[in-house]
Structure 1
Amino acid sequence: MILDLNFEIGEDLKLILNSINELMESQWSTKKLRAVMEGNKEYVEQIWKEIIKLDILPYFSTLPLRDVVIINEFIGKKLLPGIVISSMVASRGIKNKDILNKLYSGEVKIAISDSNFVPSADQADYILVNNKLIRKENSTIQTFNSLDNSMKISKVEYNNYDNVEVNNAEIALLLASQMVGSGEEVVNMSIKYSKERIAFGKPIGSYQAIKHRVVNNAIDVELVRSLVIEASDNIKYVWLAKDLANKKIPKTIMSGIQVHGGIGFTDDIDIHLHLRRVLTLSKLYNSEINFSEFLQPI
Structure 2
Amino acid sequence: MILDLNFEISEDLRLILNSIKELLDSKWSTKKLRAVIEGNNEHVEQIWKEIVKLDLLSYISNSSLRDAVIINELLGSKLLPGIVVSTIVASRGIKDKNTLNRIYAGEVKVAISDSNMVPAAGDADLILIGNKLIKREDCNITTFNSIDNSMRIGRVEYSKYDTINVNEAEMSLLFASQMVGSGEEVVNMSTKYSKERMAFGKPIGSYQAIKHRVVNDAIDVELTRSIVLEASEDIKYAWIAKDIANKKMPKVIMSGIQVHGGIGFTDDLDIHLHLRRVLTLSKIYNRRIDISEFLQPI
Aligned to 1:137: 137
Aligned to 1:86: 86
Q: Secondary structure at the match of 1:285?
A: coil
CA drift of 1:192 comes to 0.3
1: CA distance, partners of 2:142 / 2:159: 15
AA partner of residue 166 (structure 1): V
CA drift of 1:292 comes to 2.5
CA drift of 1:62 comes to 1.5
CA drift of 1:175 comes to 0.2
Q: Secondary structure at the match of 1:269?
A: coil
Aligned to 1:199: 199
Aligned to 1:118: 118
What is the count of residue pairs matched by the alignment? Answer: 298
1: CA distance, partners of 2:225 / 2:74: 12
1: CA distance, partners of 2:85 / 2:16: 17
- Could you list the runs of 4 or more consecutive aligned residues of structure 1 that deviate by over 6 angstroms after TM superposition? none
Aligned to 1:28: 28
1: CA distance, partners of 2:272 / 2:61: 32
Aligned to 2:243: 243
Map of 1:212-231 to 2, 5 A cutoff?
A: 212-231=212-231
2: CA distance, partners of 1:202 / 1:61: 49
1: CA distance, partners of 2:257 / 2:47: 28
Map of 1:244-283 to 2, 5 A cutoff?
A: 244-283=244-283
Q: Secondary structure at the match of 1:210?
A: helix
Aligned to 2:66: 66
2: CA distance, partners of 1:31 / 1:153: 22
Q: TM-score, normalised by structure 1?
A: 0.99
Q: Secondary structure at the match of 1:194?
A: helix
AA partner of residue 264 (structure 2): G
CA drift of 1:284 comes to 0.2
Alignment RMSD? 0.7
Aligned to 1:104: 104
Q: TM-score, normalised by structure 2?
A: 0.99
2: CA distance, partners of 1:221 / 1:51: 27
2: CA distance, partners of 1:172 / 1:55: 22
Q: Secondary structure at the match of 2:2?
A: coil
CA drift of 1:295 comes to 2.8
1: CA distance, partners of 2:282 / 2:185: 17
2: CA distance, partners of 1:222 / 1:61: 25
AA partner of residue 69 (structure 2): V
Q: Deviations over 1:122-159 (max 9, x none)?
A: 00000000100000100011000101000000000100
CA drift of 1:266 comes to 0.3
Aligned to 2:13: 13
| 5+ residue gaps, structure 2 | none
Q: Deviations over 1:143-190 (max 9, x none)?
A: 001010000000001000000000000000000000000000000000
CA drift of 1:277 comes to 0.1
1: CA distance, partners of 2:295 / 2:202: 47
Aligned to 1:176: 176
Q: Deviations over 1:30-67 (max 9, x none)?
A: 00000001111000000001111111111112111000
